[in-house]
Structure 1
């Protein structure tokens, strides 16, 4: 499912690579946690697996990154997003709309899903993350934990083959952390 071979990435102007000679294979169904100190490259690796690193950042890359058989270094970002759902460290950075329903519908509308299927996918994703009650809320009114749940649901609606969560509980209080971890647990 994810096959990374010899990935090295150096951001333009950086004195050393953010990633160096990363080789990693993750099989379908595996749950993998990548941990390490701040600044060690976890978020950069997540961006690489989602294809964003190569299309939205400037730098030099070596090696290969395939996800679901696609070389995410070469395909347009919208194509990679059909395979990989990436929930960023700060969910507000990925929100494109002002309310929950529009946020969850955004990707599916761009893929021209029929309205009935969009409604069905939204209901399913919100149920999975335990956030059906947030359906009609403005994003600005949500707590940190609620925003994380909506961000996860916004990736789930497209039924990606791979879901990458970049520090899904960072900056959350214990209750919100527990709620987000429970939502992640329901995905398995």
Structure 2
């Protein structure tokens, strides 16, 4: 899935290596559809394809200075997209195998109705705790834990540094753990550890 290259691609890559965001936007806008289409073809998931697009473009931003004038950027991005998509697919296969193995080993009897009620109550308490977080911490928590964004992506969305996002996440998790401990008993805390 090669796309024709821009006339001034080498020049834009040099500018990106110097930190020129406008040059990066030109290349991003030019290649984003091809990268996204390739990822969605391989992964069959819009969410995962968007994740791959962001990671591939982040890699381009970081490695622009290492690319030579002879680099076929379309081919380079296709290779990055394919490799990252395959990594995700391998991870999903491994997770599925692990889950199957865990289910085989889990012979403990349990009451699904009672656990369902307990889980619903726990999720309600967690939602209450999230609602009490300061706005920045709440937004970071929701972007990273609910929407599944990486810290770098959340930082970009919020126009913050990655370190600031990590700091907000630590504070949010500390607050939520404290809130949950004061509003639940020990059995519920074990379930919470899987949620938070």
TM-score of the two chains, using structure 2 as the length reference: 0.28
- Which protein has the bigger helix share? 2
